[in-house]
């Protein structure tokens, strides 16, 4: 079974540019989450999809961040325009809709550097 | 507000010794807790979990203890190995499928 896949693994962009991160969850996982870790701090929740619907987007920092999950499969997280404070590692995780075994499976993350 | 925090940011142990990583949480309504290990360049990797109706759970070389009275969670690693060196995060959850709230993380360094 393939795990959660994220790409790119690294992205370096200039302030003001746009970046789109992609996450492919484990097949069949209806729950999809985005988190980020900024400057070595704790991993913070951004938002949660159930299938294609946004279940909880309370962690989205501002309207420069836009997440989508068309068709309830992969998800994208767009940052436009990027600011310096957006630098960090963005993680995606998925879990099945029912049952909870082995927690939430995380991808390897996308390291975003805004210069 | 909700918070999950760790007492120690860095823990250094000798190879073969036991490690104990601690975590305090503040949301008494949390009913599910997970320990994750994160190695450089990788995402958080599930280690062990525990539900609030338990106070202890054991895995392979790892044990998680939950003390709901003082809202404390700990991860014990037996016979620590160099491959255990990583950042360890505790996370709490309230209700299946809901978001995880992570602590700041503890760096575990294993000396050979």
Q: What is the 3-state secondary structure (H, E, C) of A11-30?
A: EEECCCCCEEEEEECCCCCC
* Summary mean pLDDT of chain B: 89
Question: How far, CA to CA in Å, does A102 sit from each of A19, A45, A62, B110, B112?
Answer: 31, 19, 32, 26, 30
pLDDT digits (tens, 9 = 90+) for A3-41: 999 999 999 999 999 999 999 999 989 999 999 998 778
Extract the tokens encoding B109: 């360094």
Q: What is the rounded average pLDDT of the residues B25-40?
A: 90
Identify all chain A residues contacting B89, using CB atoms and an 8 Å cutoff: 42-43
**8 Å CB contact of B104 and A107:** no
Q: What is the rounded average pLDDT of the residues A33-61?
A: 92
Per-residue H/E/C for A6-73: EECCEEEECCCCCEEEEEECCCCCCEEEEEEECCCCCEEEEEEEECCEEEECCCCCCCCEEEECHHHC
Q: CB neighbours (10 Å) of residue A68?
A: 14
**8 Å CB contact of A4 and B43:** yes
Give me the pLDDT at residue B3, please.
43
Q: What residue in A sits closest to B88 (Cα-Cα)?
A: A42
Give the CA count within 13 Å in the CB-facing half-sphere of B79.
Answer: 2
Give me the pLDDT at residue B96, please.
66
In this model, does residue B2 exceed pLDDT 50?
no
**8 Å CB contact of B46 and A45:** no
């Amino acid at each position: 079974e393939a795990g959660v896949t994220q790409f790119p693994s690294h992205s370096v962009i200039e302030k003001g540019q746009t970046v789109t991160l992609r996450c492919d969850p484990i097949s069949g996982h209806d729950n999809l989450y985005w988190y980020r870790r900024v400057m070595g701090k704790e991993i913070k929740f951004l938002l949660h999809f159930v299938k294609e619907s946004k279940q909880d987007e309370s962690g989205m920092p501002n309207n420069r961040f836009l997440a989508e999950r068309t068709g309830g499969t992969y998800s994208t997280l767009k940052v436009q325009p990027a600011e310096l404070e957006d630098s960090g590692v963005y993680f995606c995780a998925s879990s099945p809709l029912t049952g909870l075994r082995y927690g939430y499976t995380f991808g390897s993350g996308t390291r975003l550097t805004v210069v | 507000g909700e918070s999950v925090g760790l007492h120690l940011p860095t823990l250094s142990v000798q190879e073969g010794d036991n490690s104990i990583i601690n975590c305090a949480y503040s949301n008494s309504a949390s009913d599910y807790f997970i320990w994750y290990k994160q190695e450089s360049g990788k995402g958080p990797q599930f280690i062990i979990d525990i539900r609030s109706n338990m106070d202890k759970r054991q895995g392979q070389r790892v044990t998680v203890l939950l003390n709901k009275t003082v809202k404390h969670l700990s991860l014990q690693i037996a016979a620590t190995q160099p491959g255990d060196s990583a950042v360890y995060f505790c996370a709490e959850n309230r209700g299946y499928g809901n978001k995880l709230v992570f602590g700041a993380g503890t760096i575990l360094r294993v000396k050979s």
